[in-house]
Amino acid sequence: MKILLLAGGRAAGAPETAQAREYLGRAGAAGRRIGLSEASLVEIDERKLDHLRHVPKGGVVIAFDEHGDNLSSLELASRIRRHLEGGVPALCFAIGAADGLPPEVKAAARQTLAFGRATWPHMLVRVMAAEQIYRAVTILTDHPYHRS
């Protein structure tokens, strides 16, 4: 299974982008032993916000939005495990740009997640999401990164 972080806005030189790529690279490497083939960041042009074009056939979309479910890291890991075991080819986490996600992306999402009720800048959400993906993978691989 692939994990794709579909993030609105292009910020190739931003420190947030580098940090998100670092966490996703770690997740991809750690996740190989549980069937994760890739974890990567896909930046979406904020003028188009065509997230769905990047979702592989059979992929599951999970949207980040301030009105979504607030999961613990263990709950996120459990959901990722369910998708891995269910044979989902790609799990695609969608983050909007400064104005959020387009309605069609929210409608296509199987689930919506939030980092609490606060509104977060989209550039920070990409780092927070990438870290939580990495944390979930370390939970699933019994790596000591996560401490309960």
pLDDT at 79: 97
Kindly report, residue by residue over 110-144, the tens digit of the pLDDT.
999 999 999 999 999 999 999 999 999 999 999 99
C-alpha distances out from residue 117 to 85, 114, 121, 123, Å: 31, 7, 13, 17
> Which residues on adjacent β-strands are paired with residue 56?
none
- Residue 148, pLDDT score: 78
Q: Which residue stretches of the chain have pLDDT < 70?
A: none
Cα 87 to Cα 100: distance, rounded to the nearest angstrom = 30
Domain 16-35+48-120: CATH superfamily, name plus number: SPOUT methyltransferase, trefoil knot domain (3.40.1280.10)
Predicted pLDDT at 13: 86
pLDDT at 8: 94
Q: In the β-sheet with 111-113, what is the strand arrangement from edge to edge?
A: 38-44, 2-8, 90-95, 60-69, 111-113
pLDDT of amino acid 11: 81
- This prediction has a pTM of 0.96
pLDDT at residue number 83 = 97
Judge contact between 30 and 140, C-beta under 8 A: no
Query: What are the structure tokens assigned to 97, written together?
Result: 């740009």
Residue type, 82: R
